[in-house]
């Protein structure tokens, strides 16, 4: 039997150690690769959820209808003429005094707290109010007093300027023309479009308004004081948004009225008829 060669034996043991080391390294690399793959899959899943969430938000946002962002100020003469025609058909011949629309001796009084830039006030004014005026105001059962409460404008000087401009038109018993035209031609509440030019343009559309007198009346601090008084009254009542309403028998204490719909006159008329009876 030939004795074994120590060098050959040592080499063989070294090769075995190297082989074992290589096998361990391969196993470690495989485990590390597997771990990396799992992390990537997890990250991919999270990213997928985020992407899906973003897509859902975008779809939901683009599909929602916000009257504030949909409103565009009419820029054509045809659009403005249509607005004037609609307002004239609605309130022409109805008595006005200051901010009050309707006969002074009407048995029922409604106070309408609004912000001229409020898109939901526009919904009420354009949708429900025409039928209320036709069925309740023209028949002598109801008079409506417009009052100011800042919600949508979010800029006190702009709010004070636009609301007092409407009140100044009331010095010529034309306030409701100005108010209605503002709502019909309302723009995006997030933009400060209620400039002097915009207000002047509305005044020029009010039938029979003496523009020189209107400019003079706007200098009367009493109108701004009236806007601030309305605002204080609304806060004391506890109103938090516009439009808000007070309703009751004329000459008696009015009570807050909550409407189930701003688009339908039928949400108001049963209560008005009950009070008028």
| 117 shares a domain with 25 | no
Q: Which residues contact 271 (CB under 8 A, 6 or more apart)?
A: 247, 257
pLDDT band (50, 70, 90) for residue 13: low
What's the pLDDT at 15? Answer: 61
Give the Cα separation of 219 and 202 in Å (integer): 18
Average pLDDT over residues 23-39: 51
Q: Strands 96-97 and 108-114, how do they pair? A: unpaired
| 129 shares a domain with 52 | no
Among residues 13, 40, 64, the one where a domain terminates is 64
Among residues 13, 35, 64, the one where a domain terminates is 64
| 53 shares a domain with 84 | no
pLDDT tens string 99-151 = 999 999 999 999 999 999 999 999 999 999 999 999 999 999 999 999 999 99
| 78 shares a domain with 60 | no
| 13 shares a domain with 150 | no
**Cβ proximity of 162 and 153 under 8 Å:** yes
| 105 shares a domain with 26 | no
| 159 shares a domain with 22 | no
Structural domain that includes position 32: 1-64
Average pLDDT over residues 43-48: 40
Q: Model pTM greater than 0.85?
A: no
| 98 shares a domain with 233 | yes
pLDDT band (50, 70, 90) for residue 31: low
Average pLDDT over residues 4-14: 50
Give the Cα separation of 250 and 262 in Å (integer): 23
| 264 shares a domain with 128 | yes
| 27 shares a domain with 155 | no
């Amino acid at each position: 039997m030939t004795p074994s060669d120590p060098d050959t034996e040592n080499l063989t043991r070294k090769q075995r150690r190297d082989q074992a080391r290589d096998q361990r390294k391969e196993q470690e690399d495989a485990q590390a690769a597997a771990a990396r793959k799992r992390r990537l899959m997890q990250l991919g899943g999270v990213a997928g959820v985020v992407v899906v969430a973003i897509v859902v938000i975008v779809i939901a946002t683009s599909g929602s209808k916000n009257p504030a962002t949909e409103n565009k100020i009419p820029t054509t003469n045809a659009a403005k003429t249509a607005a004037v025609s609609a307002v004239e058909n609605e309130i022409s011949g109805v008595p006005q005094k200051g901010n009050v629309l309707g006969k002074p001796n009407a048995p029922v009084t409604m106070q309408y707290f609004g912000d001229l830039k409020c898109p939901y006030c526009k919904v009420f004014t354009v949708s429900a109010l025409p039928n209320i005026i036709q069925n309740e105001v023209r028949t002598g059962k109801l008079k409506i007093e417009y009052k100011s409460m800042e919600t949508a404008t979010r800029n006190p000087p702009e709010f004070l300027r636009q609301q007092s401009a409407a009140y100044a038109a009331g010095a010529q018993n034309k306030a409701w023309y100005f108010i209605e035209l503002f709502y019909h031609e309302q723009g995006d509440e997030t933009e400060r479009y209620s400039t002097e030019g915009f207000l002047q343009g509305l005044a020029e559309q009010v039938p029979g308004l003496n523009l020189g007198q209107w400019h003079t009346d706007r200098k009367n601090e009493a109108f701004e004081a009236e806007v601030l008084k309305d605002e204080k009254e609304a806060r004391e009542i506890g109103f938090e948004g516009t439009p808000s309403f007070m309703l009751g028998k004329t000459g008696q204490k009015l009570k807050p009225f909550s409407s189930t719909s701003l688009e339908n006159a039928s949400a108001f008329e049963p209560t008005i008829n009950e009070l008028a009876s």
